[in-house]
Amino acid sequence: MILQDLVRYYDRKARDPDPAQRLPSLGLETKEIPFVVEISADGGVVQLRDTRQVVGKKLRAQSFLVPQGEKKTSGVKANLLWDSAAYVIGLDKARKSSTAVSPQAAFRARIEALPEPACSDVGVRAVLAALARADWSVLQAHSAWTDIAETNAVMTFQLAGDVDLVCQRPAVALAATQSTGTESTTAAMCLVDGVLAPIQRLHPSIKGVWGAQSSGANVVSFNARAFESYGKNERQGENAPISERASFAYTTALNHLLDRDSRNRVQVGDASTVFWADRASTFDGEFTLADLFGEPKDDPDRGVRAVQALFDAVKGGQLPVGERDVRFFVLGLAPNAARISVRFWLEAPLAELGPRITRHFDDLRVVRRFDSDPITPSLLRLLSSLALQNKLENVPPRLAGEWMRAILEGMPYPALLLNAAVMRCKAEQEVTYLRAAVLKAWLNRDHRRTHPDAATNTQHFKEQLDMAQTDTPYRLGRLFAVLEHIQRQAMPGINATIRDRYYSAASTTPVTVFTTLLRLKNAHLKKLTDGQTVYFERLIGEVLEPMTDFPRQLTLAQQGRFALGYYHQRQQFFTRKDADNNTAQEN
């Protein structure tokens, strides 16, 4: 089903009226080529053109539509009229065997094997003449020669005075689309198209999956006897028969979605996640689902606008009737050695997917600490807040995929998410805005799970401090924040507070800590004014009113409620201080 939907997406994009958005035809691909060798009709080298430009802080080569490259696993295989410098100009890259066919000889043989009228094309004849001359002095005198030699850069040819490359000339392009260069002659029933067709033995590589091999990996591949059917160990493609056309279509579509400039992909932990729709819609054009979960670099506010647009469409009943039935597909891919594993797969109409996504952001909404805190935090930022040193490589491997699946399916969040948030709060003795948002979202979803009669939008734990919330761990968190604030008021400028010493124990075994802290607060209250003392005594009484005793131990979920109560009460102090300052300024 995944491959079938990718093939349908390819068919739709291949017919796109916009040439810039259209996907290449069978036998062609889009490739970044940093160096173009401009030659004359007699094969003389005119100049070397460097197509690289500075994008951000890196050099980025120009992309060209060229004949599809060969899948190079071992041995020598040449692409048609473009390849690495070792193939194009015979750059010595320490060949393993002196008896094997040289890369440049294979490159020339591939060109000579072109059928008519491509082999008689003036551009093709000029390339063969240049290869016969083998005079690359103009290239070696170029300032970029060092880069070519060190990186074995990709190169191609262009006839002087032409706009297109030699490999883009009509006769060559026609020959490339008519002959895909497949090694398979076996015909079987294609599992994707359902037609009898030649089977692709080795599928093109998938590139762009974070953590996978830079040369690409495969979704469908068989390279060990344990994975192969009897008698098909030498014909790997027959284990999962997919036609040449379907193999090209699904890999081209997936590579397009995984492109680094694609607006249809987002990195969620170790899962490279792509989104697409079965037809055009608001959230497959102006916005994409990746805008909801990612952080677009070129326009950081686009994600906020996308979330707001989805809120307006779902909650305001403004979702057009035609878009309600648009089906969206979500595919999460993770690296697994030379293969790519499917971490999750979801297919749902926007009418179902929209409310689930808005519910996720509703659950996350909590009072912000600073104005710079994101209103709609991305999954990438939320995950990094739960990791050691805020590094994504320290996020548990399966957490991101399980969380994304829970969001898109409207299910409770994984227990691993609560564990990561609570442990990080205890390890750093700090409940940040992002961790508080994660805790609030997890707790509200868990409450709806244990209370099936509750409405789907029930918020058991509110966005701000809830004075009516009688949950004991939540009250204990509030009490801890009050005691810390008393200490700060009594000892201005103190470097370490009770949070640095007691937070972990107070959130785990309250009975062993709070009796000591309540004694300490009496000494702190003596340093405050009578008005402050009365205020804090009343506040402590209000917090402790529904409680009868301190619990011996708190479970993991209760520790999460403790952290949220602490965060809410602490932010209430800052909010009140800001309000008092604003009132004084107005007076």
Q: Who has greater pLDDT, 317 or 55?
A: 55
pLDDT value at residue 223:
67
How far is Cα 402 from Cα 258, in angstroms, rounded to an integer?
20
Q: How far is CA 391 from CA 136, 387, 578, in A?
A: 46, 6, 33
* 531 burial type by CB count under 10 A (0-12 exposed, 13-18 middle, 19+ buried): exposed
> Does 584 have pLDDT greater than 60?
no
Q: At what angle do helices 498-508 and 415-428 cross, to 10 degrees?
A: 150
Q: Lowest-confidence range among 3-12, 102-111, 310-319, 558-567?
A: 310-319
Q: Collect all residues with Cβ–Cβ distance below 8 Å to 154 and sequence separation of at least 6.
A: 31, 32, 33, 34, 35, 61, 82, 83, 84, 85
Rounded CA-CA distance 501/392 in Å is 28
**What is the Cα–Cα distance from 323 to 315, expressed in whole angstroms?**
15
Rounded Cα distance, 231 and 562, in Å: 61
pLDDT in tens, 93-138: 545 444 467 899 999 999 999 998 899 999 999 999 999 999 999 9
Average pLDDT over every residue of 331-339: 83
pLDDT tens column, 250-289: 999 999 999 888 888 888 878 889 999 888 777 776 677 7
Q: Are 168 and 66 in contact (CB under 8 A)?
A: yes
Q: How far apart are CA 36 and CA 304, in angstroms?
A: 42
- Cα–Cα dist 134/547, whole Å: 89
Cis peptide bond prior to 492, omega within 30° of 0: no
Segment among 63-72, 162-171, 213-222, 247-256 with least mean pLDDT: 213-222
pLDDT number for residue 282 = 73
Tokens encoding 371? 């104005």
Q: Residue 142: which residues within 8 A CB-CB, separation 6 or more?
A: 48, 50
Q: What is the pLDDT of residue 234?
A: 58
Residue % of the chain over a pLDDT of 90 = 54
Residue 158: what residue type? Q
Q: Is a pLDDT exceeding 70 seen at residue 32?
A: yes
Sole residue written with tokens 């040369």:
215
580 alpha carbon, distance to own chain's centre: 43
φ and ψ of 455, to 5 deg: -65, 155
Quick one: pLDDT at residue 137? 93
Give the torsion sign (CA, 249, 255, 256, 258): positive
Tens of pLDDT, residue by residue over 276-323, are 988 877 777 667 777 788 776 666 667 777 877 777 777 655 566 667
Copy the structure tokens of residue 195: 């037609």
**Residue-wise DSSP of 335-354:** EETTEEEEEEEEEEEHHHHH
According to DSSP, residue 388 is labeled G
The pLDDT-based confidence of 218 (bands split at 50, 70, 90) is confident
Average model confidence (pLDDT) across the chain: 87
Mean pLDDT of 2-19: 91
pLDDT at 299: 65
Q: Which residue has the higher pLDDT, 39 or 184?
A: 39
Pairing verdict, β 187-189 and 196-198: antiparallel
Q: Is the dihedral of CA 178, 180, 185, 189 positive or negative?
A: negative
Distances (CA, A) of 120 to 39, 43, 156: 17, 15, 19
Domain boundaries defined on the chain: 1-18+181-262, 27-178, 265-450, 472-586
Query: What one-character DSSP code corresponds to residue 316?
Result: T
Q: Check pLDDT > 60 for residue 582.
A: no
- The tally of CA atoms less than 13 A away on the side-chain side of residue 248 is 24
- Whole-structure pTM over 0.85, yes or no? no
- Which pLDDT score is estimated for 99? 46
Residue 556 near residue 419, CB atoms below 8 Å: yes
Phi and psi angles of residue 243, each rounded to the nearest 5 degrees, phi first: -70, 160
Reported confidence tier of residue 202, pLDDT bands at 50, 70, 90: confident
- pLDDT for 335 equals 85
Q: Note whether 440 and 530 are within 8 A (CB).
A: no
Give the contacts of 314 (CB within 8 A, at least 6 positions apart).
354, 355, 358
> Would you state the pLDDT for residue 144?
93
Could you give the dihedral angle defined by the CA atoms of residues 400, 401, 404 and 410, in that order, rounded to the nearest 10 degrees? Answer: -130
Q: Is the pLDDT of residue 147 over 70?
A: yes
What CA–CA distance (Å, rounded) separates 270 from 402?
A: 11
- pLDDT on residue 100: 65
φ, ψ at 169 (rounded to 5°): -65, 145
**What average pLDDT does this structure show over 525-548?**
93
Q: Cis omega (within 30 of 0) on the bond before 117?
A: yes
